[in-house]
Amino acid sequence: MERFLSLSKAVLGVLEKPFAATDMFLFFIRIWIAKIFFTSGLTKMGDGLFVLDDSAVLLFEYEYGFAEAWAEVMARLAMYAEVVFPVLLVLGLGARFGAAGLIGVTFVIQFFVYPASYAEHLTWFAALLPIFLLGPGKLSIDHIIRHKYA
């Protein structure tokens, strides 16, 4: 019982410090939202790293309604954005840039691809906005660089 009480006091001590709770929240949100986009980006990859899968092009052409000439371009851009920006978020390296990029991707998906899925896209936007506004927090490479070279 004593161990439980000391552990509880330690956890409460950490949570009493606003920066610690905020940093943990930002870290959790970065990982959670990155997983959603990264998984989607992987579905657009073919046999190698950044090799576009033919089915992704067909998806953009026939389901999303892009002209044949634009389908490959848009599929390739989506693949790059959905793989690179989440990696930036997880590492906390250029995290605001990554969050801004994924906010842009979210808006494109909302207005041009799945306009009826506004509740899901609003959730993504709500997760990305604190990262964009506050930065990635202290559990990030951005924080280390800022404090080492500032």
Token output for 45? 């990859």
User: Could you tell me if 39 and 47 are in contact, meaning their C-beta atoms sit under 8 angstroms apart?
Assistant: no
Listed by start position, the domains of the chain span 45-149
Q: How confident is the model at residue 59 (pLDDT cuts 50, 70, 90)?
A: very high
The CA-to-CA distance between both ends of the chain, in Å, stands at 46
Share of the chain above pLDDT 90, in %: 73
Residue 128: per-residue pLDDT: 98
Q: What is the pTM of this model?
A: 0.84
Q: Given this model, what pLDDT does residue 147 score?
A: 81
